[in-house]
Structure 1
């Protein structure tokens, strides 16, 4: 029933295969004169700037075999209950399968008909999309990245419970021409329901006789949406076996289709399906998600890099870093293994970043010369979708230069000699060269897309999904739950009651008690 259970039930540090792998990584080096390229679903993944050796590759394969990689991969793709702590599947790959099961195919058909009907009738000039986390980031990313394929409607987003978010979304919008789309897996998400109520009230206050006719719900709990008053024909379903951060491939993509076209949504699904096929079939040595995962495990758990920076050299990928933050950190931010025991090694890194070249003028100083450093995933497109040829060449040059400098560093002696050649005194040249020196030796991966097409975007996101799965398998953790999110949300519900003047529902530390008392008093004084 639980095929992701490692073949060896010992915790990771006690596995002989882990010990051998760790030692092989520590003995490996950067092979700066060798290429390590993996091709998958139209993407090229260049791992040449990661530590590598034949011994490390063999040890990695032995470790994956010890963790039951083949059976775990098959179980994931077959829809078995790989989410053990919640006893359900994590079958997001079915959402983009070329021939999905009937329930999935039916929802895809319903979404398609809804969008085609809206387009044919010229309905809705604007959309307000309400959702948070996995119900928000994928839609933002896909719409922004693929907006060049033809914008059909204005799309605004409301995620935060902060009233400024909904206020900004409705500002300047015509309520008669606006569709509200609420996405929530459980349809109990506090922020989403609060913002949805405000949006419905805005429609009603604007004279819309039946505001619910302008509301669409996308949820795994359609009965909850129907109970609110949303028509059944405007409720689109996904399932408990679809995690929020894996839900873009479902009806959650409906706002993307309304904003930039059905062909974009279908292209993204096709690209992800191509990466699924690669992941399912490729051997370990040539499997792009596996090799990306192994680099991540080596950097985090053996070499000690605490974070991963996402440097996407394409301005249209401005939301990729936060999207991957959620995918990676919500999935891999775990400290106990499947047996409920401490993992015993550092797991998921912190993930952060912004598009290049903006990042170069923000945090690359720290990447190059800071004491900690970070692993970096560089992402670039060989071809641009604009007319500015020289600017694209400059962008690519910056990407390659930053990556090489992180790897190879700069020569202290060359800097010193250059300063001396400029006439600088010996002591000053020695001193300034020490400040200019980049020691290098910092790992990175380069992911190259031919162009930023919907297909390439889908393949890129699926690459990271499967990478996360493989890392979780090695560490022996469940990447499909998020109990760390749930605890804080439950506590917030109790504190909200106390702010309303209701009886205390939980014990608090002194600081929290102070602020609850003060803020509750503020509310009563209004």
Structure 2
């Protein structure tokens, strides 16, 4: 395989991106499901449209997309499918339909039973990474739609997390969910052990009767002691960060109702249909991915900021951080060669308008800055119309300012209204120059409800998949994460072995020093 940067399609794409205007004059809004995706301030030109299509063809996008939906082993380093779309399809593909529908029915039956018996006022969910961020995001952002139970989350192995999650709850009326694909995740199992002790101390004679497991390793859950009817399965072809659509969504159903979980899946399915059937030029995930690749690999932006102008979406930032950076944080292509263009920008951000008072100064006047994804709801779920008007005004104003910028001449005219000394005015004006021409995307949701949230999450899933195809990397494995986990296990064993020879260590001097010092107390 030729180095990507040396291929004809990449050279044409790179040239077209660089030659496209920094302030495009054409309105470009794509409708996907019920979302509107405004790409008007991203690089765009007729030449770029042609070059982008050629790059997609060169990288085999259409076949890769078909393989995704057909359950082919597109996770090639683990020889697995990545078939999360099957979990939300109105009619699951025939090869997995029975398994998917059986688990969905089992989960729905469990929720119906505990609701009918009025069991468990409290649910504590133990998971981490993909088993945590999706359910946490959905429960916290959609909390206004229901609220049958108190739902809490504990992910971190720091005992402060599980202690805070359990604090103030009644053990006799609390359900513990362990969500772990492998059922070996050390954080979740360590927190589960604390929860068992807490239940027992609270007078629960059979603590494991208060547990359910959501896992791809049902045997390990049985060996842990969880009852068969409390084990909900998903499969190795469901990646952790794509698992919200599976039984990992149980806390959503328990807290907000089965209808909420089903509507979340339905919104994602609508986005799947758009991704499958829209033309490439009108395909929102595809066009977002092309803009992201242009920004990172051609224009040199090493990061992008996510700014949802809705305080309920604060957990969308870490959810997307994991989706993007765990999926794309790689540089090895399918043939084993190293990708020779910049890839995988860092993702960061926070909700507006807090973000404006935190890092927008850098976005506006740093020498490089970063692209921004703005997310806005057209309608609020409250009656405070002026607050929502202010929110919209701030979002649109920041985006416009990033694009338009402010020239020295504009700044000088502004300063000169008060400062009459020409030299002093010129000196001050230099500090008020904004480069402008900074790319952004605006995603407008009609309102924040389960269907729109499902569509939004699937939009980003398909964007990340398309980026992986364009860069020729596998977005479905995470070997870097696994490497760190293995080292942590070894270091824990050494911390326990207080009598071992401190001079014997396979680690660098700094790590060895801290192992010895912290093991000795």
Asked whether the two chains share a fold, i.e. TM above 0.5, the reply is yes
| Residue of structure 1 equivalent to 2:22 | 30
Aligned Cα root-mean-square deviation (Å) = 1.1
Question: Does the 8 Å CA contact 1:378/1:446 hold for their aligned counterparts?
Answer: yes
| Residue of structure 2 equivalent to 1:336 | 332
Distance 1:397 1:250 in 2: 38
| Residue of structure 2 equivalent to 1:397 | 393
Distance 1:73 1:421 in 2: 57
| Residue of structure 1 equivalent to 2:222 | 226
- Cα deviation digits, residues 208-250 of structure 1 (max 9, x gap): 0111110010000011001110000000000000000000000
- Cα deviation digits, residues 263-288 of structure 1 (max 9, x gap): 11111100000000111111110111
Gaps of 5+ in 2: none
Residue 293 of structure 1: how far off its partner (Å):
0.2
Gaps of 5+ in 1: 1-8
Q: CA distance change for structure 1 residues 369 and 164 in 2, over 3 Å: closer, same or farther?
A: same
| Residue of structure 2 equivalent to 1:96 | 88
**SS of equivalent to 2:403:** helix
Match of 1:238 among 231, 234, 240: 234
| Residue of structure 2 equivalent to 1:291 | 287
In the TM superposition, 1:466-481 aligns within 5 A as 466-481=462-477
- 1:380 equivalent in alignment to 2:376: yes
Residue 372 of structure 1: how far off its partner (Å):
2.5
Question: Does the 8 Å CA contact 1:494/1:506 hold for their aligned counterparts?
Answer: no
| Residue of structure 2 equivalent to 1:135 | 131
- Cα deviation digits, residues 57-104 of structure 1 (max 9, x gap): 100000101111111110000011000000010000000010121111
- 1:196 equivalent in alignment to 2:196: no
| Residue of structure 1 equivalent to 2:517 | 518
Superposition misfits of 4+ residues, deviation over 4 angstroms? 502-506
Match of 1:366 among 356, 362, 368: 362
Residue 431 of structure 1: how far off its partner (Å):
1.2
Distance 2:244 2:142 in 1: 14
Distance 2:229 2:37 in 1: 43
**SS of equivalent to 1:51:** coil
Residue 335 of structure 1: how far off its partner (Å):
1.1
Question: Does the 8 Å CA contact 2:123/2:152 hold for their aligned counterparts?
Answer: yes
| Residue of structure 1 equivalent to 2:52 | 60
- Cα deviation digits, residues 24-48 of structure 1 (max 9, x gap): 1111113443101111100111000
Residue 375 of structure 1: how far off its partner (Å):
0.9
Residue 428 of structure 1: how far off its partner (Å):
1.5
Question: Does the 8 Å CA contact 2:23/2:404 hold for their aligned counterparts?
Answer: no
Distance 1:367 1:30 in 2: 16
| Residue of structure 2 equivalent to 1:6 | none
In the TM superposition, 1:485-524 aligns within 5 A as 485-501=481-497, 507-522=506-521
Residue 120 of structure 1: how far off its partner (Å):
1.4
Of the structure 1 ranges 291-300 and 11-20, higher mean CA displacement relative to structure 2 is found in 11-20
Residue 463 of structure 1: how far off its partner (Å):
0.4
Question: Does the 8 Å CA contact 1:31/1:52 hold for their aligned counterparts?
Answer: no
In the TM superposition, 1:47-126 aligns within 5 A as 47-100=39-92, 101-126=97-122
Distance 1:132 1:158 in 2: 8
Match of 2:8 among 16, 19, 22: 16
TM-score under structure 2 normalisation? 0.97
Distance 1:122 1:322 in 2: 33
Question: Does the 8 Å CA contact 1:11/1:337 hold for their aligned counterparts?
Answer: no
Match of 2:183 among 153, 177, 187: 187
Question: Does the 8 Å CA contact 2:24/2:44 hold for their aligned counterparts?
Answer: no
| Residue of structure 2 equivalent to 1:3 | none
Distance 2:241 2:423 in 1: 56
- 1:159 equivalent in alignment to 2:151: no
Distance 1:268 1:424 in 2: 59
Distance 1:302 1:489 in 2: 34
**SS of equivalent to 2:520:** helix
Q: What is the total number of aligned residue pairs between the two structures? A: 514
Distance 2:23 2:355 in 1: 27
TM-score under structure 1 normalisation? 0.96
Residue 423 of structure 1: how far off its partner (Å):
4.2
| Residue of structure 2 equivalent to 1:5 | none
Distance 2:58 2:331 in 1: 20
Distance 2:213 2:482 in 1: 22
Question: Does the 8 Å CA contact 2:23/2:403 hold for their aligned counterparts?
Answer: no
Distance 1:69 1:146 in 2: 34
Distance 2:104 2:427 in 1: 65
Residue 506 of structure 1: how far off its partner (Å):
5.8
Distance 2:73 2:512 in 1: 42
- 1:303 equivalent in alignment to 2:299: yes
Distance 2:350 2:102 in 1: 37
Residue 418 of structure 1: how far off its partner (Å):
2.4
In the TM superposition, 1:387-426 aligns within 5 A as 387-426=383-422
- Cα deviation digits, residues 167-211 of structure 1 (max 9, x gap): 111111110110000100000001111101110111112110111
Question: Does the 8 Å CA contact 2:111/2:258 hold for their aligned counterparts?
Answer: yes
